[in-house]
Amino acid sequence: MARTRYASDRGLTSRMLVTMFLLGLVYVVFVGAFFVFVPKWAGVALAFAVVFLLAQYFFSDRMALFAMHGRVVSPEEAPELHGVVDRICAMSDAPKPKVAIADTDVPNAFATGRNQKKAVVCVTTGLLRRLDPVELEGVLAHEMAHVAHKDVAVMTIASFLGICAGLITRFGLQWGLWGGFGRRSNDQNTGLILLAVVAASALAYAVSFLLTRALSRYRELSADRAAALLTGRPSALASALTKVSGEIARIPTNDLRSAQAFNAFFFTPALGKGFSVSSLFSTHPSLDKRIAELSKISDQLSRGV
């Protein structure tokens, strides 16, 4: 992986390592318990889950673009957008990612891809219409910071592990338990096995959910900081955050719901006005916290710190 001029973040690196270790530990215990309680179909379910994970990891860029109706654009099709990306690459010494546009009025952006060579940065048409070039530069620098920090790949794997629990449990309940015990109505252990599998799945999902949300919130602050320091314009990124958050509140609810599956990867979450949720379960820090952190960086830059 090429080294870049993006500010490193040891806190992010340590959090990614701890998150992956804890998730791995949880799922080793979960899968082990599943093999003990439902050995008949556990191997098939696990193999299917592994294949699905590999497909998501290696083709995450294509899958994300397909889901968001995005398409890769050439410099001739989007010269201004490519110009902004080229400037960021020149400032950061980062390889240029593929550049894509998603045709939706929801103003947002995201980065995907397992490494810098396979990275894609996608912006929506709604974002392009609403931001000026300086604000757009801040947003794209933020997204490219995710790629430089390698947290895009980590989030892809970490978020999948939550799906894995439900997937394995579904196979077990439908084939292993119903098929295996359906003919033995007198088997008194069936209910206990069902309870154990569902409980293990719920615990694994809950732990993975909390760990990935905590990592997601920190990585957003880290990308904000790296982008602000790289461009030297924290105020531009703060302006983009404020503008996008305000505009998202005006987007129709149905459009927001269709985009919420990508909240963990978006520049800012697609949540409507009045949406309230505990910070423990949010994918992003609050707007106030992000603005406050950028204000601190602006003060540091002005003092030459």
Q: How many CB atoms lie within 10 A of CB 244?
A: 25
The helix (H) or strand (E) run that includes residue 112 is: strand 109-112
Distance between CA atoms of residues 4 and 296, nearest Å: 23
Tell me if 69 is assigned to a ligand binding site.
no
Contact, 97 vs 141, CB < 8 A? Answer: no
Query: 121 by DSSP, 3-state: which?
Result: strand
Nearest residue to 112 (alpha-carbon basis) of 60, 187, 46: 60
Distance between CA atoms of residues 236 and 136, nearest Å: 8
Distance between CA atoms of residues 265 and 112, nearest Å: 8
Distances (CA, A) of 194 to 28, 39, 63, 81, 86: 19, 13, 34, 53, 55
Tell me if 77 is assigned to a ligand binding site.
no
Contact, 121 vs 94, CB < 8 A? Answer: no
For residues 1-20, one letter each, b for 16 or more C-beta atoms within 10 angstroms of the residue's C-beta and e for the rest, the string is eeebebeebeebeebbeebb
Nearest residue to 139 (alpha-carbon basis) of 256, 247, 63: 247
Which residues are identified as catalytic? 143
Distances (CA, A) of 31 to 38, 49, 87, 124, 201: 10, 11, 47, 39, 9
Tell me if 220 is assigned to a ligand binding site.
yes
Contact, 155 vs 134, CB < 8 A? Answer: no
Known binding-site residue numbers for Zn(2+) = 142, 146, 220
Known binding-site residue numbers = 142, 146, 220
